[in-house]
Chains A and B, each alone.
Chain A
Amino acid sequence: MKNLIEYIVKALVDNPDQVEISVIEGKETMVLELKVAKEDIGKVIGKQGRNAKALRTILDAVSAKARKRSVLEIIE
């Protein structure tokens, strides 16, 4: 799951090497904390949050298959 988000985000941003994802596993939920270069934050969030929304939708779908809940946090 982490790999998937990492792959997508790296494809979206200008500085793929600065993408960092840390995973906080809980019992039922999983929190993905996403850090990108400062100038790439806009690209991850997108216009009106569309990119972030699409990312979260995909994450939801993937984690539903694993019978889990996931939260994607974008950290400045």
Chain B
Amino acid sequence: MAGLEFEGKTVKDAIENACSKLNISQRELKYDIISNGSTGIFGFVGVKKAKIRVYYHKKPESSSKRNEHQGTSDSFSSGIDPREVISLVDEAFSDLREETLLQKDTREEKKQKSQPKKQTHFTSADQDKDESIDSKALPAPTEKEVKSVDIKDDTSLESESFEEEKPSASETFLTDEMVDNCADLGLTALKKILEYLTDDVQITLEKTHDKLLFRIEGGNSSMLIGKRGQNLEAIQYIIDKIVNKNITKHIRVQVDVAGYTEKRKENLIKMAERLAQKTKRTGKPSTVGPMNAQDRRIIHITLKNFRGVRTQSIGEGYYRKLMIFPKQANRKKTPSDVTESENTSI
């Protein structure tokens, strides 16, 4: 019985190696695993070969083979370094070994193919990080990046639609006659509602081809505005509905009480800028509570050109809220920063 060490990329390979060298079947082979070996990262960093020690029993075999094996076992018994023998055997079976190695290589290549694929996907999503990130961190950032790209598109679309509201409406604007009709309708409805709420009000009307603005002065303005502007919002909404009921094109209706909407707009812009600074400083997204579409629009537009943050509306209906995110590419100043700004401007 002799101990002989064999190496291979995996234990299985080492066994095959041993069998081919000793010319016996795998069933006959008795061995201990010395080390399992590892393929390392991507098969080129920290590769360890698997080692096995084979215990080989001499068997009565055909004479020629027996002689051959006799020789090898003799050399062991006479205390010659087993590595030399291995090299000898290697030489003898070099062709065979090369073949098995080739097979292994193709297998290894197949394994690696799947990983580089991921990498290319990753690089297409984000150019500046791919070199410094190790293999484990790969999948998560990829998903994130893809998501954020989607989100970015959404926001840009949203803010775009806000901006394009006016030009698109001007292309298909209502005739003056229709605007006048709408204005009359809105004015009578507004008067009707207001007479129940407060006395002595003056209503002035400003009309453009796509917007009606009713300014209300005097009277009990706190009653008209209500808590957090909810009465004003409700009145505006109802008037909007009444005015837009019988026309195909949409005309915007705005009701303002004693400059309230202007003040609110200023407050919102201040708040938006404050939150954006905070988000930029802390790197954490911040949320602006549920509010109506007009208010969200103001914040979106305010922060559109604010460097280092992006905005998005999340949720449905009444619970829809606006979130301010830090821009991820801003952490590093790289060429991707340029592409980022291009994305938002598109």
Contact = CB atoms under 8 A, between A and B. Distances in A.
Category for how many chain A residues contact B: 20 to 34
Which applies to chain A's interface (DSSP): helix, strand, loop or mixed? helix
A48 B223 contact: no
Nearest to A47: B317
Contacts, number: 57
A54 B192 contact: no
Nearest to A13: B245
Interface in B179-202: 189, 192-193, 196-198
B234 A53 contact: yes
Contact of B234 (A4, A7, A54, A64): A54
Category for how many chain B residues contact A: 20 to 34
A36 B237 CA distance: 20
Chain B CB within 10 A, most for which of A11, A50, A62? A11
Interface in A34-76: 46-48, 50-51, 53-55, 57-58, 61-62, 64-65
A65 B196 contact: yes
A24 interface: no
Interface string B213-234: 0000000000110100011011
A49 to B, nearest CB: 8
Contact of A8 (B193, B197, B198): B193
A61 B223 contact: yes
Contacts of B241: 11-12, 46, 51
Chain B CB within 10 A, most for which of A1, A12, A47? A12
A61 B198 CA distance: 10
B242 interface: yes
Given A8-B193, A57-B231, 7 more contacts: A7-B189, A8-B238, A54-B234, A54-B235, A58-B238, A65-B196, A65-B223
Interface of B: 189, 192-193, 196-198, 223-224, 226, 230-231, 233-235, 237-238, 241-242, 245, 317-318
Nearest first, the 3 A-B pairs at minimum CB distance are A57-B234, A54-B234, A48-B317
